[in-house]
Amino acid sequence: MVAARSGERYYVGPGNGLFACLSGASDLEIVRLDNPLYHRQRKGLGPAPTFQGRDIMAPVAAHLAAGVPLTQLGSRADRTALGEAPVSGVPDPHPLGHVVWIDHFGNAITDIRRGSEVSGALARGARLQVGDQVVPGPYRTFGDAPAGLPFWYWGSGECLEIALPDENAAKRFGWHRGLAIHLHGP
């Protein structure tokens, strides 16, 4: 488990590739969450091995919100502590990005960062394609997006995310981690 800071934003979570899209940030600081002083303790037993979100990540996030410096929460780590975004299936010869995570709402989080070359192409009118779907965007809110159609937006982690208003996009379209992202047009 890791905590990271980029700019004014903090991230707390597993080191399993979920935050792989942060690895290109120039001002990135990362720590491993190995300081038990900031974990929830269970009657002297320490955190439960299967409830790390409750016993480690949530308390660490609360300490960060209360102003505890990142470096007190654990030992410094390099970018490899973020993990790698898993890729599954047959490798695509020309992807511009990949889906690195599907959240519990079925939204697809990609490794495409705001400010990247792909971001610039999208701003010039290129169309995003995920699987068989051409996905319009960006939309600022779910309410701004067209009902019943997938759309893309810039998520809080400054990575491109794809969603479907009021529906699980991953289930409807069969999206999964490792799915290639393509661009068409300018």
157 lies in which domain range? Answer: 97-184
Kindly report the pTM of this predicted structure: 0.54
Residues 65-113 have pLDDT tens digits of 999 999 999 999 998 888 776 554 444 456 688 899 899 899 999 988 8
In a domain, 12, yes or no: yes
CATH code, 156: 2.40.30.90
Looking at residue 92, its pLDDT comes to 46
Strand order in the sheet with 127-130: 133-135, 127-130, 180-184, 97-102, 108-113, 159-163, 151-154
In a domain, 39, yes or no: yes
Alpha-carbon distance values, 102 to 75, 156, 169 (Å): 29, 15, 9
Q: Give CA–CA dist 86/98, Å, rounded.
A: 9
Question: Could you tell me if 107 and 68 lie in one domain?
Answer: no
- Please check the confidence at residue 140 and state whether its pLDDT lies above 80: yes
In a domain, 88, yes or no: no
Last residue of a domain, one of 23, 58, 82: 82
Q: Tell me how many domains the chain contains.
A: 2
Looking at residue 113, its pLDDT comes to 86
Question: Could you tell me if 72 and 103 lie in one domain?
Answer: no
Question: Could you tell me if 36 and 110 lie in one domain?
Answer: no
Residues 26-75 have pLDDT tens digits of 889 999 999 989 988 777 776 766 678 888 999 999 999 999 999 999 99
In a domain, 92, yes or no: no
